[in-house]
């Protein structure tokens, strides 16, 4: 009995530490860019700021392909086998090999599009520099650190690089023509983070690089497939909001939208760490007891609802003040956008609790993928209907309706399966 209590205390202590590390990381990921946001939107202007974000949105599709579904599937496998060093090394090597293969495939597709589509060819240097940042995503083993529940290393690496990046931005970005330099700084930071992450994993945790077994490679491909589809679908309807907006309107409109969305993301980042730190924990908890799993998730849902509601209401009430202080007078359109997307934190917190924290550990991967695919179709149709008429606000409305659809679908699917976590 004493050993059981001791084990539970260690487990919860790890959860609290991981939540603390990821909270600080999330704060850095959103607050540090928020420090540079007022400077960048004023220095670059809506048009160039929008162009850089459009390039990031375009290359994000290839990042999703490279990441596959490993950020969840590999996290789960690492968590289960965390005390088996040989197995950990095998999984680690398999994931890196597969990610490298997907990166090469992505690079080929990217180059074909770059030299055949006029919009991309016109700014080939910008898109090429933005694409290089995917190397950082390829290398950084966030799935490994989450699986072994040592998130503090993610924190140390990210914060160190982003603090330096912030200082360099203020030094080097001084006029609209520096937008290429900004893209270079963003990509360089990603690559440095990736290299540092893999070096820490190899040196600190005795992980060995070797050629993985064919069984592990096939297992990782199979385990990540449904999650990859879901992630791809989610990426299509989130990244495509910026991408479609750029195709249907212009870079200035993209600038208005992405500037407002940066404020929303900064506020929404409050509960991001809870999601990331809880996933490996609930996966292990489900192995132990389904009742404890459901009981714990009920608490998470309540926390998500309360914090999400407060966050969304505060964003709505202070949207005008936030836009004026952070973005300045030239971004009045961004205030209209923020008043619509301010409700996304509440909806997405609940969606995450129902989907990632409940459905995926319960192996409802197929249903998860079908729901997200349906959301993609809904979002594209809504965007095509609303954007030509309402521009950035059309994209905002499309996002809001799509997220509401996803959250409701996850909830009702769980109810159909008689899983009550409210």
Task: Report the percentage of the chain scoring pLDDT > 70.
Answer: 86
How many other C-beta atoms are found inside a 10 Å radius of the C-beta of residue 199?
A: 12
In this prediction, residue 12 has a pLDDT band, given cuts at 50, 70 and 90, of low
In this prediction, residue 4 has a pLDDT band, given cuts at 50, 70 and 90, of very low
Predicted confidence at residue 168, as pLDDT, reads: 95
Distance CA 288, CA 291 (A): 9
Distance CA 10, CA 281 (A): 12
Distance CA 156, CA 173 (A): 26
276 or 34, which is more confident? 34
- The residues near 329 (Cβ < 8 Å, ≥ 6 apart) are none
Rounded mean pLDDT of the chain?
Answer: 83
DSSP states along 136-174: HHHH--HHHHHHTT-THHHHHHHHHHHHHHHHHHHHH--
79 or 416, which is more confident? 416
23-32, 247-256, 334-343: which range is least confident on average?
Answer: 23-32
360 or 195, which is more confident? 195
Predicted confidence at residue 303, as pLDDT, reads: 84
pLDDT tens digits, residue range 192-234? 999 998 888 888 877 777 788 888 888 777 777 776 776 677 7
In this prediction, residue 7 has a pLDDT band, given cuts at 50, 70 and 90, of very low
Q: Is the pLDDT of residue 269 over 80?
A: no
Predicted confidence at residue 2, as pLDDT, reads: 46
In this prediction, residue 188 has a pLDDT band, given cuts at 50, 70 and 90, of very high
Report, as an integer, the average pLDDT of 350-354. 86
Predicted confidence at residue 369, as pLDDT, reads: 81
Q: Is the pLDDT of residue 6 over 90?
A: no
Report, as an integer, the average pLDDT of 152-168. 86
261 or 225, which is more confident? 261
Distance CA 278, CA 275 (A): 5
**Among residues 412, 383, 100, which one has the least CA distance to residue 237?**
383
Q: Is the pLDDT of residue 266 over 90?
A: no
Query: Which of 114-118, 169-173, 300-304 is predicted most confidently?
Result: 169-173
DSSP states along 304-365: HHHHHHHHHHHHHHTHHHHHHHHT-GGGHHHHHHHHHHTTHHHHHHHHHHHIIIIITTTT-H
Predicted confidence at residue 410, as pLDDT, reads: 92
109 or 33, which is more confident? 109
Predicted confidence at residue 277, as pLDDT, reads: 62
Q: Is the pLDDT of residue 416 over 60?
A: yes
183-197, 260-274, 293-307: which range is least confident on average?
Answer: 260-274
Q: Is the pLDDT of residue 60 over 60?
A: yes
Q: Is the pLDDT of residue 9 over 60?
A: no
How big is the chain, counted in residues? 422
pLDDT tens digits, residue range 126-147? 999 999 999 998 988 887 887 7
Report, as an integer, the average pLDDT of 372-390. 90
Report, as an integer, the average pLDDT of 321-346. 90
Query: Which of 20-24, 239-243, 310-314, 328-332 is predicted most confidently?
Result: 310-314
């Amino acid at each position: 009995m004493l050993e059981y209590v001791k084990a539970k205390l260690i487990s919860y202590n790890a959860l609290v530490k991981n939540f603390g590390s990821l909270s600080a990381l999330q704060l850095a990921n959103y607050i540090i860019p928020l420090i540079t946001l007022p400077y960048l939107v004023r220095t670059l202007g809506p048009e160039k700021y929008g162009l850089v974000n459009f390039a990031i949105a375009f290359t994000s599709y290839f990042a999703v392909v490279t990441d596959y579904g490993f950020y969840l599937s590999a996290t789960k496998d690492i968590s289960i086998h965390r005390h088996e060093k040989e197995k950990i090394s095998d999984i680690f090597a398999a994931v890196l090999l597969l990610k490298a293969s997907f990166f090469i495939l992505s690079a080929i597709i990217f180059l074909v599009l770059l030299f055949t589509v006029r919009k991309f060819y016109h700014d080939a240097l910008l898109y090429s520099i933005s694409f290089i940042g995917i190397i950082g995503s390829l290398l950084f083993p966030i799935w490994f650190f989450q699986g072994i529940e040592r998130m503090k290393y993610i924190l140390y690496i990210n914060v160190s690089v982003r603090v330096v990046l912030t200082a360099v931005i203020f030094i080097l970005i001084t006029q609209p023509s520096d937008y290429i330099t900004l893209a270079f700084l963003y990509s360089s930071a990603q690559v440095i983070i990736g290299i540092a992450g893999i070096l820490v994993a190899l040196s600190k945790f005795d992980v060995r690089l070797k050629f993985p077994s064919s069984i592990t490679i096939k297992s990782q491909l199979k385990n990540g497939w449904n999650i990859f589809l879901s992630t791809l679908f989610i990426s299509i309807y989130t990244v495509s909001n910026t991408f479609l907006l750029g195709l249907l309107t212009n870079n200035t409109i993209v600038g208005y939208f992405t500037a407002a969305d940066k404020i929303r993301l900064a506020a929404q980042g409050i509960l991001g760490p809870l999601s990331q730190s809880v996933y490996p924990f609930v996966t292990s908890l489900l192995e132990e007891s389904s009742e404890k799993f459901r009981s714990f998730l009920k608490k998470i849902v309540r926390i998500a609802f309360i914090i999400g509601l407060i966050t969304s209401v505060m964003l709505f009430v202070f949207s005008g003040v936030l836009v004026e202080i952070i973005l300045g007078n030239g971004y009045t359109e961004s205030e209209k956008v923020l008043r619509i997307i301010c409700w996304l934190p509440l909806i997405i917190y609940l969606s995450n609790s129902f989907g990632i924290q409940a459905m995926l550990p319960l192996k409802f991967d197929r249903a998860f993928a079908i729901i997200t695919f349906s959301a993609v179709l809904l979002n594209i149709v809504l965007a095509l209907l609303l954007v030509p008429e309402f521009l950035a606000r059309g994209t905002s409305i499309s996002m809001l309706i799509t997220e509401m659809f996803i959250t409701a679908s996850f909830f009702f699917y769980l109810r159909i399966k008689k899983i009550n976590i409210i």
